[in-house]
Amino acid sequence: MAKSGWQRKDLLGIAELERTEIEAVLATAASFHEVATRPIKKVPTLRGKTVLNLFFEPSTRTRSSFEIAEKRMSADAINFSTAGSSLSKGESLLDTTRNLQAMSPDVLVIRHAHPRVPHQLAARLDTSVVNAGDGAHEHPTQALLDAFTILQHREQLDGLRVAILGDIEHSRVVRSNVLLLRKMGASVVIGGPYTMMPRSAEALGVDVAYSIDEALEGADVVMMLRVQTERQSRMSIPSADEYFALFGLDRARLRRANEGALVLHPGPINRGVEIASDVADGRASLILEQVSSGVAVRMAVLYLLAGGAS
Amino acid sequence: MSSVSSVIRASGALLVRGGRVVDPSQGIDDEVDVLIGDDGRVERLSGSIQVGEGVEVLDAAGLVVCPGLLDLHVHLREPGQEYKETIESGSRAAAAGGFTTVACMANTVPVNDCRSVTEHIVRAAQRCGLARVLPVGAISKGLRGEELAEMGDLVSAGVVAFSDDGRPVEHAELMRRALLYARHFGLPVVQHAQDMTVTGDGAMHEGPSSTRLGVPGVPRLAEDLMVARDLLLAEETGGRYHVQHLSSGRSVELIREAKARGVAVTCEVTPHHLLLTDRDVEESGLDPNFKMNPPLRESADRDALLAGLLDGTIDFIASDHAPHHVDEKLLDFVASPFGIVGLETTVSLLLDRLVHAGKIELGEMIRLLTSAPAKAFGLELGSLRPGAPGDVTLLDLEREVTVDPARFQSKSRNTPFAGWRLRGAPVVTVLAGRPIRVEPRPER
Ligand SMILES: [Zn+2]
């Protein structure tokens, strides 16, 4: 497979990517998508390569998805789960970098609670770095897998109207998706309660709505974000029930979107909080497809960064 | 007036000869000589003073001679965090940066909330004798914001103001009582004005840049709320209220209105808030050396701060010199501590970016670092009037420097200005008639 259109050492964010690079990842993912349908779901592409999954913040889903992608590529996948971030306990980025360098991995997959930690490590390492989520900043493979999923059902992203709804302020998913969708020619509206919207939401370069109904008007794609209902979010929303009543996506609300609108959610979903079961399990929902797309997209990213040295 | 002259021992007489004396306290901008007597105080200023042998002569030809500069907001970290800075290294940094006087904040370990800590600071500063180090005492015991520190005892040990800096006094009633009680001593109550409930876990200004970066934001409102509350308390109590490191344009307006109403309020601004914005944080790629509290805000705030400085709403400039060890700034942006050093960059930054850039007159810049801070804190400093302490700073307006943290006399290197090329620099300071020659460290 030719690695056309990709020169980078790292995948840190959508911000750095050109449209052609996004297209290169999506095209590569399409060829790996087929692997999942085979009886033996494994290719030798990354045999002998080591991938370190370095998760400073717990994330079962994203980590498992990367791990499956790595194993299907025949890479040696090693997990480092250091929840409770050693970086904030006196180990500096420099120490971490040196330790990782000493293990000479081929790819580092990094999840961290603070923005730009993967970027800072990447700048100091020869190893390829994949950002698997840095605080509320970016989550590029999520945006790529969302785009890939939509493109299984639509010809192109150009001209689509995408509504992204929920806790905008604390979401890394929304930032990467906004960047990707705009680069690919879609128009985006973000919506949610006033208390979950960043004060300078317009800085994201999209339309902003404070009513779910308004945001859904004319949408071709609806992306729901996971809402945290823990105690610390109670300053933003009084209860899960009230959130569902005012901002949740149910079948009646979905009718405001365009006929045949697609529904996505990065998971795990909170049924009856941000999304009703009849929508999550309904015909419009691509939530499970997103999971399989995620593996294909991550295989593509690993391949572009570390595979096919020819 | 607080007496500060006892801090430094005088040596012999000194003649500062041939310079351009700029002393805003007397409206002087003229080529005159300055004679400092052997009591360490200014004897007289006049053209071509002749002196006999035994009087040291400091040649100031081609240089600006001004009253010794004051930086009334520094953190010297001693006692307790000597790995970041000591009174000695901080005094060296002050002298290298052109400052003869610094006021050091109380958030040491232990806190400067009692006589023994104040006395330690005074003695350590006297031992090194490179700058006047004026201790600021805590407002509340342990900076806990619960009960007043023993202000009277602190005053008798030598503090010149009260501040819980590092932490705001959040409790309104405690702040009210602090403003009232401090009236007995005529000293200002100095506030790091920030509502912490609005601040949350914010790490940079809440605005377009923080939104794009997904970094938790500190809204302007955090400062505005506290300034507004405190102005009402100051008005009510008649106490002297000083706001540290203003960052928000709205707070400048609040203070302008309060001054017009006659409230006894003063305030300061840092060079970094006058020169940088949150865009610089974003463009740095979240370099921890751009992280300080209050955070760098937007260009409208920066412009409002400069306007406030020019119209007299903002009383003086101070650096908020906040040393942190290199290891602490090796963490990522969110994890690293707030604060940057400023003693060794302030003068060159102001000369290059404000004076040479035509935004502010040289005399005005000098006033903002001499008589203005002295007046705000009620200190008999910042002037070359006969009888005043013989503290002088010599400036070379044309010397080109490049900010090189490796050459700082401070123990810390945390500055966002590394690599900046600046025109104008301090040359030497004179403390009570004694020349203090502390140069930047030699290049490696
Ligand atoms: Zn402060």
| Pair B298, B207: CB distance under 8 Å | yes
Q: Do both A68 and A159 map to the same domain?
A: no
The pLDDT of residue B327: 85
Q: Are residues A207 and A99 in the same domain?
A: no
B225 C-alpha to ligand 1 centroid (Å): 16
Cβ burial A228-248 (10 Å sphere, 16+ → b, else e): beeeebeebbeebeebbeebb
Same domain, A83 and A163: no
Instruction: Answer whether residue A188 is part of any domain.
Output: yes
Say which DSSP state B28 is in: E
Do A116 and B332 count as a contact with CB atoms less than 8 A apart?
yes
Decide if A149 is inside a domain.
Answer: no
Average pLDDT on B106-115 reads 96
Which residue spans within A127-197 are E strands per DSSP? Answer: 128-134, 161-165, 187-191
Closest among B195, B194, B192, B220 to B206, alpha carbons compared: B220
**DSSP bridge pairs for A249:** A275
Q: Which of B230, B320, B391, B396 is catalytic?
A: B320
Task: Please tell me the distance from the alpha carbon of residue B134 to that of residue B8, in angstroms, as a whole number.
Answer: 11
Tokens read off for B332: 């990522």
Residue A261 · residue A284 · CB < 8 Å: yes
Q: Look at residue B133 and give its three-state secondary structure.
A: strand
* Residue A148 or A39, more confident: A148
Quote the CA–CA distance of B278 and B280 in Å, as a whole number. 5
Work out the minimum CA distance from B323 to partner chain A, whole angstroms: 17
- The mean pLDDT value for B277-284 works out to 98
Asked if the C-beta of B209 comes within 8 angstroms of chain A's C-beta atoms, the answer is yes
CB contact (8 A) between residue A116 and residue B217: no
Hey, is the C-beta of A231 within 8 angstroms of any chain B C-beta?
Answer: no
Contact B332 A138 (CB under 8 A): no
Which tens digit of pLDDT belongs to each residue from B134-189?
Answer: 999 999 999 999 999 999 999 999 999 999 999 999 999 999 999 999 999 999 99
Q: What is the CATH number of the domain that holds A124?
A: 3.40.50.1370
Model confidence at B3: pLDDT above 90: no
Question: How is residue B352 annotated by DSSP?
Answer: I
Under 8 Å between Cβ of B126 and B153: no
pLDDT for position B11:
67
Q: Do A85 and A207 fall into the same domain?
A: no
Per-residue pLDDT at A2 = 54
B335 touches chain A (CB under 8 A): yes
Average pLDDT rounded to a whole number, residues B297-324: 98
For chain A, give the mean pLDDT. 91
| pLDDT for res B2 | 46
In tens, the pLDDT along A238-280 reads 889 999 999 999 999 999 999 999 999 999 999 999 999 999 9
Catalytic site residue B320? yes
Asked whether residue A2 is assigned to any structural domain, the reply reads: no
Indicate whether A127 and A60 sit together in one domain. yes
Whether A165 and A86 share a structural domain: no
A5 found inside a domain = no
Of B206, B285, B333, the CB nearest to A114: B333
What integer pLDDT is reported at residue A309 of this predicted model?
54
User: Is residue A229, in this structure, part of any structural domain at all?
Assistant: yes
Which chain B positions have a beta carbon within 8 Å of A136's beta carbon?
Answer: 214-216
Predicted TM-score (pTM) of the model is 0.93
Q: Which domain holds residue A53?
A: 19-138+291-306
Q: What is the rounded CA–CA span in Å between residue B402 and residue B181?
A: 46
Residue B243 is inside which H or E element, if any?
Answer: strand B241-243
**Could you tell me the CA-to-CA distances from A55 to A85, A133, A281, B309 in Å, in that order?**
9, 9, 30, 48
When scoring A56, A134, A200, A236 by the number of chain B Cβ atoms within 10 A, the one with the most, hence best to mutate, is: A200
High-pLDDT (> 90) share of chain B, %: 93
Rounded Cα distance between B335 and B180, Å, is: 38
Q: A238 and A295: one domain?
A: no
Q: Which of A301-305, B54-58, B88-92, B370-374 has the lowest mean pLDDT?
A: B54-58
How far B439 CA lies from chain A's nearest CA (Å)?
31
Structure confidence by residue, pLDDT tens digits, B185-201: 999 999 999 999 999 99
DSSP string, B6-27: GGS---S-EEEES-EEEEGGGT
Chain B residues whose CB is inside 8 A of the A233 CB are: none
B127: CB partners within 8 A, 6+ apart:
B88
Co-location of A103 and A171 in the same domain: no
Model confidence at A3, in pLDDT bands (50, 70, 90)?
low
Shared-domain flag, residues A119 and A159: no
Assess if residue A14 is contained within a domain: no
Interacting residues of B137 by C-beta distance below 8 A, sequence separation 6+ = B106, B112, B113, B118, B149, B151, B154, B155, B159, B161, B162, B163
A173 touches chain B (CB under 8 A): no
Closest CA to B99 of B436, B443, B441, B388: B436
CB proximity B261 to A under 8 Å: no
Task: Tell which of A82, A110, A199, A204 to mutate to test the B interface (max B CBs under 10 Å).
Answer: A199
| A204 in contact with B, Cβ within 8 Å | yes
H-state helical runs in B83-145: 87-96, 115-128
Indicate the pairing of strand A262-264 with strand A221-224: parallel
Specify the pLDDT at position B1: 44
What is the nearest CA distance from B82 to chain A, expressed in angstroms? 18
How far apart are alpha carbons A10 and A27 in whole angstroms? 18
Cα atoms found within 13 Å of the Cα of residue B117, Cβ hemisphere only: 26
- The two tokens of residue B244 are 């540290």
- A115/A174 same-domain check: no
In DSSP terms, B217 is beta-bridged to B204
Q: Is any Cβ of chain A less than 8 angstroms from the Cβ of B415?
A: no
Q: Is residue A12 part of a domain?
A: no
Whether A116 contacts chain B with CB within 8 A: yes
Q: Please, which residues have CB less than 5 A from ligand 1, an ion?
A: B 165, 192
B282, closest residue in chain A (CA to CA): A116
Residue range A20-68, pLDDT digits in tens:
999 999 999 999 998 888 898 899 999 999 999 999 888 889 999 999 9
Of A114, A175, A200, the CB nearest to B207: A200
* Confidence band for B7, pLDDT divided at 50, 70 and 90: very low
Whether A200 maps to a domain, the answer reads yes
Number of domains in chain A: 2
**Measuring CA to CA, how many Å separate B80 from each of B101, B109, B110, B119, B133?**
22, 4, 7, 15, 17
Are A50 and A93 members of one domain? yes
Provide the mean pLDDT of chain B. 95
Instruction: Mark whether A199 and A134 lie in a shared domain.
Output: no
Reading the block at residue A24, the tokens are 């290169």
Q: What is the pLDDT of residue A5?
A: 81
Region A187-213: mean pLDDT is 94
User: The tokens 């009886």 sit on which residue?
Assistant: A39
C-alpha B321/C-alpha B317 separation (Å) is 12
Distance from CA of A161 to the nearest CA of B (A): 21
